[in-house]
Amino acid sequence: MLCFGARRRLGRVVTLLGMRSIFLVGFMGAGKSSVGTALAAQLGAQFVDLDGEISRRLGAPIPEIFARYGEDTFRTTERDELERCAELPDVVVATGGGAFCSVANREVIHQTGGVSVFLDLPWAVLRERLVRDHSDRPMYDDPDQARQLFEERLPHYRCALVRVSLAGQEDPAEVAGIVVATLREAPCAI
Ligand code: S3P
């Protein structure tokens, strides 16, 4: 339950964002889906999980898509679904860890007026999360390979319009609050 003041402040964020959708980007394990769910709830917006849309479209879970059709098919579908999501008004989209690493995908997001938000967590936190839970992540082999992929991808994530630096101990609702506060201050979001 939100007090009147909080509602008014959140209402102002939505007003400032106008029809701009928010795209959460960052490495595997950054919490894009859980933060996206909390953020959409705080903003009263629709939440879309890009990987979920890809799974629905191809009728299989992500690891099966990689195993059965290969990464190329996954990436092509990812682009298609991203283009579709980018046309939706006022949504919060959690992208997969590789989506923002394509220049064309970044253009899809930004040219349709989307605001990209990089959830920037320390490698040590991501590593720990991935070691604990990587069963559904075909792009993860082992900590060393994942570290290299993370380093390669950082320059791409840094192309996001907004960067939110996190310690990794915050819960999803807290991170969503930080994202809202950061967007309120970000000139690009106005
Ligand atoms: C991928 C990350 C996954 C998913 C797919 C590819 C990647 O999403 O899109 O397995 O290339 O990093 P998460 O970042 O939600 O794990």
- Answer whether 50 contacts ligand 1 (Cβ < 6 A): no
Task: Give the pLDDT mean for 58-84.
Answer: 98
What is the pLDDT at residue 4? Answer: 37
Rounded distance from Cα 16 to ligand 1 centre (Å)? 30
Tokens 């769910």: give the residue.
Answer: 37
Task: Give the pLDDT mean for 102-115.
Answer: 96
What confidence tier does 9 reach under pLDDT thresholds 50, 70, 90?
Answer: very low
- Answer whether 137 contacts ligand 1 (Cβ < 6 A): yes
Asked if the model's pLDDT at residue 8 lies above 70, the reply is no
- Answer whether 31 contacts ligand 1 (Cβ < 6 A): no
Rounded distance from Cα 63 to ligand 1 centre (Å)? 10
Task: Give the pLDDT mean for 22-44.
Answer: 97
Asked if the model's pLDDT at residue 26 lies above 60, the reply is yes
Rounded distance from Cα 96 to ligand 1 centre (Å)? 4
How far is the C-alpha of 38 from the C-alpha of 92, rounded, in Å?
Answer: 10
Separation in Å, CA 157 to CA 133, 135, 142, 161, 162: 22, 24, 21, 9, 10
* pTM recorded for the entire structure: 0.91
pLDDT above 70 covers what percent of the chain?
A: 88
What is the pLDDT at residue 187? Answer: 65
